[in-house]
Amino acid sequence: MLGLLIADKDVESRKQMAELFIEAGYNVMVTTSAADALDGILKKAAQVVLLGREFDDVSAGDLIPLLKKCNRNVTIILVSADETLPVLRKLRREGIFYHALKPTAPEDREEIRQVVKCAFEYIARQAGFLTPCFRR
């Protein structure tokens, strides 16, 4: 089963996203520890990571290259509201799959749900199992 890792220091946000994806049938792991995030990636327990801006006193900008070195195929979705455009450009070069704004209302969760679904479809496509998730 494909795993989803939610790594964020914001307890409420982490809880809401975990509930959303558990209800949707995903295998969800949550952490506030950079070491646990790296461990989940190294053991390939998580193929998609929802990463908050900062946790465990480590910024996403510092952690993303490490996660990618542990597993270059990991799909990282950055979830934050206050990144500058130059920082986002740098993170895109580092290999994030998507940048989503942190959901503040129930209707905002639909974006996160769709992005995670698309990320898993992307992984399946890379393995030759599915057609593209975005169709015209």
Domain count, the chain: 1
Range of the domain at 31: 3-126
Does 133 fall in a domain? no
Does 136 fall in a domain? no
Query: Which H/E stretch holds residue 55?
Result: strand 54-55
Query: If pLDDT is split at 50, 70 and 90, which confidence band does 23 have?
Result: very high
Higher-confidence residue of 92 and 127: namely 92
The rounded mean pLDDT for the chain is: 87
Edge-first strand order for the sheet with 96-100 is: 27-31, 3-7, 48-52, 75-79, 96-100
Query: If pLDDT is split at 50, 70 and 90, which confidence band does 131 have?
Result: low
Taking the model in full, what pTM does it have? 0.88
CA 41/CA 52 separation, integer angstroms = 16
Does the structure show a pLDDT above 50 at 135? no
φ, ψ at 73 (rounded to 5°): -90, 0
Does 135 fall in a domain? no
pLDDT for 133 equals: 56
CA 119/CA 76 separation, integer angstroms = 9
